[in-house]
Amino acid sequence: MEEVLKEIFQSIIDGDQKLTPQKVQEALDAGLEPGYILNEGMVAAMSEVGRLFEEGEYFVPEMLIAARAMQAGLAVLKPKMVEANIQSIGKVVAGTVKGDLHDIGKNLVCMMLEGAAFEIIDLGSDVPPEKFVEAVEKNGANIVAMSALLTTTMPNMKTTIEALKAAGLRGKVKVMVGGAPLTAKYAEEIGADGYAPDASRAVALAKDLVS
């Protein structure tokens, strides 16, 4: 692996918010592909942070500063991954469900969807069902994209789908879901229209849903 990728990996593990964006820029300047930098350097580092947390070596504060370093690096990658001035192929209301603060995966999905010419209304994290409903109504969205990283917050996806139904919107909007603990089977059980395991497959799914 390239030295600079190892440095990116380590700077995220260390939660170094200054070094991570510098090293990501250095990798781009060296001609490395954004997707390669993202997967091999950055996403791999977050998996390692998860492992350290599981093993009791890292606690919530370490996870949080690692996440901040990751976000700082993503800000450098974003312009390379998102092409500007493309005509919108659909409107997506996106958010991490109620009770869940994990937003890195959701941000990546939004970034990739934006790069694929979707218009994104990003509601952030810890989004209650009524906010999804309100945003779909207000923006005339084609897709609701929900993320969950905790087994305890996954059921809030179902609650949101039920709220969309109760508001009479379910026939007008497609629902896609994703996040590490999810499966295609779970997505089907809660009545979603599709599940994607990662950001690039989320783009393929969203295109399918609007076609």
Give the footprint of ligand B1M on this chain (CB under 6 A): 43, 46-47, 49-50, 53-54, 60, 63-64, 67, 99-106, 108-109, 145-147, 149-151, 176-181, 196, 198-199, 202
* Beta-bridge partners for 178: 147
DSSP 57: S
Q: How far apart are CB 60 and ligand B1M at their closest, in Å?
A: 5
Contact 55/49 with Cβ under 8 angstroms?
A: no
Shortest gap between Cβ of 85 and ligand B1M (angstroms)?
25
Nearer to ligand B1M, 31 or 147 (CB): 147
Instruction: Report the C-alpha gap between 197 and 201 in whole angstroms.
Output: 7
- Distance (Å, rounded) from C-alpha 175 to C-alpha 97? 13
Please give the Cα distance from 90 to 121 (Å, whole number).
11
Distance from the Cα of residue 57 to its chain's centroid = 26
Q: Which is nearer to ligand B1M, 4 or 143 (CB)?
A: 143
- If the CB atoms of residues 4 and 12 are measured against ligand B1M, the closer one turns out to be 12
Q: How far is the CB of 102 from ligand B1M (least distance, A)?
A: 4
CB of 155 to ligand B1M, least distance (A): 12
